[in-house]
């Protein structure tokens, strides 16, 4: 007597397909939430950095990083934190600009001293020990460098200060521009560029078209204020 072969019924197969569908839907929804949280973090960086400047100016009547009286303003805070105040290039202090590249790791650049000073002033979170500037500088939600400078980093941008965040995927860069500006990554106060910034203004990348933004490539996003 031969054994009867057993198989799945249509109902069982349907249940399995429903479960698979629910699992896939949950995974996709979870990824969507993660992506949304990243974009919010990126945007929060761009909105928060200007507040550091306004808060410091309100407290000390000086520009962080460019503060010629930083020893008077933050000397005791540095002593309490057991850190040494960075000594920036003296000829540029007090000129109303944040000298140096946003991604600099040179301790004498004002764009590096900016972060130590806003941290010692209790305006920004983070370690105020800049013995190793490269390790102390802030990063964004994807680990890319975040910084500020006074020189326009992307051709055509105008403003007094520019906040830049790098290593941002194209799909996020486009969403940032839509949220904060005009939706065109090559115009307005928010612009996107590719490559590595080394002190020479980069060319903005258009949102679409030839040479346009690729969703999975990484870019530098900068805002002007």
d(CA 224, CA 1): 83
Pair of tokens at residue 106: 């040179």
Other CB atoms closer than 10 Å to residue 87's CB: what's the count?
12
- Parse the chain into domains and list their residue ranges: 39-224
**pLDDT reading at 1 higher than 70:** no
Name the pLDDT band for 10 (thresholds 50, 70, 90).
confident
pLDDT of residue 17: 72
**pLDDT reading at 36 higher than 90:** no
Name the pLDDT band for 37 (thresholds 50, 70, 90).
confident
d(CA 192, CA 170): 9
d(CA 49, CA 68): 20
**pLDDT reading at 38 higher than 60:** yes
pLDDT of residue 2: 53
DSSP string, 120-133: HTTSS-S----SSH
pLDDT of residue 150: 98
d(CA 147, CA 136): 12
């Amino acid at each position: 007597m031969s054994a009867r072969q057993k198989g799945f019924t249509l109902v069982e197969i349907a249940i399995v397909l429903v479960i698979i569908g629910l699992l896939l839907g949950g995974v996709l929804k979870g990824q969507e939430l993660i992506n949304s949280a990243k974009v919010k973090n990126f945007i929060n960086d761009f909105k928060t950095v200007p507040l550091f400047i306004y808060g410091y100016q309100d407290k000390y009547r000086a520009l962080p990083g460019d503060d010629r009286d930083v020893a008077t303003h933050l000397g005791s805070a540095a002593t309490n934190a057991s850190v040494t105040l960075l000594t920036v290039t003296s000829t540029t202090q007090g000129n109303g600009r944040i000298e140096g590249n946003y991604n600099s790791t040179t301790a004498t650049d004002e764009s590096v001293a900016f972060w130590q000073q806003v941290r010692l002033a209790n305006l920004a979170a983070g370690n105020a020990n800049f013995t190793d500037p490269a390790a102390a500088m802030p990063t964004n939600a994807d680990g890319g460098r975040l910084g500020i400078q006074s020189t326009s980093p992307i051709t055509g941008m105008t403003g007094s200060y520019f906040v830049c965040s790098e290593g941002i995927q194209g799909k996020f860069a486009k969403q940032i521009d839509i949220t904060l500006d005009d939706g065109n990554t090559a115009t307005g106060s928010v612009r996107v560029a590719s490559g590595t910034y080394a002190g020479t203004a980069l060319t903005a990348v258009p949102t679409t078209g030839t040479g346009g933004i690729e969703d999975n490539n990484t870019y530098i996003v900068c805002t002007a204020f």
